[in-house]
Amino acid sequence: MSRNLFGTDGVRGTANEFPMTAEMALKLGAAAGRYFRQDHSAAHRVVIGKDTRLSGYMFETALTAGLTSTGMNVLLLGPVPTPAVGFLTTSMRADLGIMISASHNPASDNGIKFFGPDGFKLSDDAEAEIEALVETGVTPSQSQHIGRARRIDDGRFRYVERAKQSFPDTLTLNGLKVVIDCANGAAYRTAPQVLWELGAETIEIGVSPDGLNINDNCGSTHVATAAAAVVEHGAHVGICLDGDADRVMILDENGKVADGDQIMALLASRWAVNGRLKGGALVATVMSNLGLERYMQGQGLTLERTPVGDRYVVERMRKGGWNLGGEQSGHIVMTDYATTGDGLIAALQFLAAMAETGQPASALAQNFETVPQLLRNVRYEKGSVPLEADGVKASIRNAEERLQGNGRLLIRKSGTEPLIRVMAESEDPVLMEMVVDSIVEAVEAAV
């Protein structure tokens, strides 16, 4: 089955433009409701969470209308992190979970991601079947079988307790000064509360959402503000989440950034020593740095690579029976604690390492020497296919020949934005920049 609506992380786009319209959300709700309520019994329910975008109100209402029209009972969580939706889907015995968020994207965007009854994101096949129902249309339930909707006021607090349980009960954060940047997003209340309850002194950034300032010069994709705050306040560590709190970047006491690769390296090595790393393997994507792969080999551990997208990381983890994976961008998946990337719980694992070892963040945040990596993005018009242009194909072939034996190249379409991502790795930075520039120029010419 084809998947034209769904990308690598649900349906996403600019609010009030196809496919992110209220009409499409209504259809998606009805299609998902019919897909998960095929036996027409009355016991089916769905939980819906959202981040702090203004358009979240519109999509929440439209999805609720579509879902209840097929007899689904809707439980509205309000603003909660994406991993809270995965957790509460199973905790509340729901058939379906939905998160309304465009993650790290600007406030003008929004998205809809689906979770199955096990709390994990849906497979490609399930998304294709829902998309097929959108195309064919769904017959609504009879009037006496229309579903109900109700607000769940304590969903956030349930997740707070869940997050705290991931932190060793023999440790506290007493004496630690932590800068927490919530990106004016879904974790603006939960993350500071968890840190404070565990004993940390918090300096809070990005905790005043107004519907339009999510990810605006803050959060995991804009760490400069938090880095300055770490230095200014003499904090021991900084934590930068994204808009839906499924990503994290860590800042050491000097404001230096540790990305997802460095965080995974720390957790993998610590878990391996403690006998917690199942199968001696870490699952990461093709974007993860070659330095991480070399580090894992040096530890006698394995790095398994997947296509880009945390859902593919999770699928490989579940298939292999592994419990740690993630992405360089800061998605850290720990299936012992969560069904999807969880920025807050990953940060708590890092803080636990600080509390247990007494070492500063700088000693824990840089575990391997990165191989120089260059990533550039080229925006294109929706509907165009620049990677099919002859000039682009020729440029890629030439770049691969020049890099052979001295690096690697990855060119792909973003699954969440109309961008072509051009990435190269090489210990020859001059060569790396030349090949990236040549491909970017070819793509721009095709665009």
CA separation for the pair 7, 14 (Å, rounded)? 14
Beta partners for residue 410, in sequence order: 423
For residue 386, what is the DSSP state?
Answer: G
238, containing H or E segment: strand 237-241
> Given this model, what pLDDT does residue 342 score?
98
> Given this model, what pLDDT does residue 38 score?
66
Residues 360-415 pLDDT 10s: 999 999 999 999 999 999 999 877 888 999 999 999 999 999 998 888 999 988 87
CA separation for the pair 82, 221 (Å, rounded)? 17
> Given this model, what pLDDT does residue 385 score?
87
User: Which superfamily does 174-257 belong to?
Assistant: Alpha-D-Glucose-1,6-Bisphosphate, subunit A, domain 3 (3.40.120.10)
CATH number of 11-153: 3.40.120.10
The residues of the chain scoring below 70 in pLDDT are 1-3, 38-42
Domain ranges of the chain: 11-153, 174-257, 259-365, 373-446
Beta partners for residue 306, in sequence order: 285
> Given this model, what pLDDT does residue 193 score?
98
Q: Which residue has tokens 């379906």?
A: 96
Residues 149-206 pLDDT 10s: 999 999 999 999 999 999 999 999 999 999 999 999 999 999 999 999 999 999 999 9
Query: Which positions are annotated as active-site residues?
Result: 103
> Given this model, what pLDDT does residue 7 score?
85
Task: Please state which CATH class domain 259-365 belongs to.
Answer: alpha beta
Asked whether this chain's domains 11-153 and 259-365 adopt the same fold, the reply is yes
CA separation for the pair 373, 289 (Å, rounded)? 7
> Given this model, what pLDDT does residue 143 score?
93
> Given this model, what pLDDT does residue 2 score?
58
In b/e form, how buried is each residue of 240-270, taking b as 16+ CB within 10 angstroms? bbbbbbbbbbbbbbebbbbbbbbbbbbbbbb
For all residues of the chain together, what is the average pLDDT? 95
Task: Please state which CATH class domain 373-446 belongs to.
Answer: alpha beta
- Its pTM stands at 0.91
